[in-house]
Structure 1
């Protein structure tokens, strides 16, 4: 019997590669019935994640692991597509913040439904307790990373 490797690092990165390809190739089309730019979904998710501290281009750059100019282009494209509005900060009038439009909120909700469905499909053969515990660990890891 093969021994179990208790270091999940290699498995984690195999999963990241798998889902990066799957997301790019399927998710955006599955969400709306047409091909949407995956970067719009990433930006919408990043703006939502930064909402408690006012979402800015810098916050999006941090969430996505990009430099400011790359994040700025992605934000501009998502705003041009109607998913974001730029507004004056409530905390500092010199600063511009990003807010989701109704269309951006709908895109995020559709992405979340797709993500839940993918999780359910991938773990459908697992015992319910294992599925719930795995979900707890995933939320814990995401929370500790601030993503």
Structure 2
């Protein structure tokens, strides 16, 4: 399979660019990047989530993920409870404030994408969005 299309460098240039800018458009003093990453990881892990699954989603070891989770719990964005099925397990979920922040993050992401492709033909923008979703959900790709 021929893959030398320049897509890799372009993709990572976009990742570098947006990784430094995206949270400013979302949080507006209500949270920070780490909280949004935690909320996304909990949601992607399945709710209620387990600490280990969230660590995998974040690409961190359990200890570092636990510190990020503790900060999100302290900020009132995440609940941390003992599982009713297994007292050795901790369950994580979003509080209403966490759900609101996650919704705001996703709305900002959609608005940003719409602005980026605003001058594209609708068919091209839709196809590009479908390809991005396909890439993001490919086997082996973190959720």
Q: TM-score, normalised by structure 1?
A: 0.86
Counterpart of 2:29? 34
Structure 1 residue 73: deviation in Å? 0.5
2:63 is the alignment partner of 1:69: yes
Q: TM-score, normalised by structure 2?
A: 0.88
Counterpart of 1:15? 14
- Contact 2:26/2:108 (8 A) holds in 1: no
Q: Using the alignment, how far apart are the partners of 1:146 and 1:70 within structure 2?
A: 18
Unmatched runs of 5 consecutive residues or more in structure 2 = none
Query: Bigger CA drift: 107-116 or 34-43?
Result: 34-43
Number of aligned residue pairs: 138
2:84 is the alignment partner of 1:87: no
Structure 1 residue 146: deviation in Å? 4.2
Structure 1 residue 50: deviation in Å? 0.6
In 2 relative to 1, CA 39–103 (structure 1 residues): closer, same or farther, beyond 3 Å? Answer: same
- Contact 1:28/1:38 (8 A) holds in 2: no
Q: Using the alignment, how far apart are the partners of 1:100 and 1:35 within structure 2?
A: 15
In 2 relative to 1, CA 103–35 (structure 1 residues): closer, same or farther, beyond 3 Å? Answer: closer
Structure 1 residue 36: deviation in Å? 2.1
Please report the RMSD computed on the Cα atoms of aligned residues, expressed in angstroms: 1.6
2:134 is the alignment partner of 1:136: no
CA deviation profile, 1:36-88 (whole Å, cap 9, x unmatched): 22100110111011115x41221121111111111111000000000000123
Q: Which has the higher helix share?
A: 1
- Contact 1:88/1:97 (8 A) holds in 2: yes
Q: Using the alignment, how far apart are the partners of 2:85 and 2:137 within structure 1?
A: 25
- Contact 2:81/2:91 (8 A) holds in 1: yes
In 2 relative to 1, CA 35–85 (structure 1 residues): closer, same or farther, beyond 3 Å? Answer: closer
Q: Using the alignment, how far apart are the partners of 1:71 and 1:56 within structure 2?
A: 11
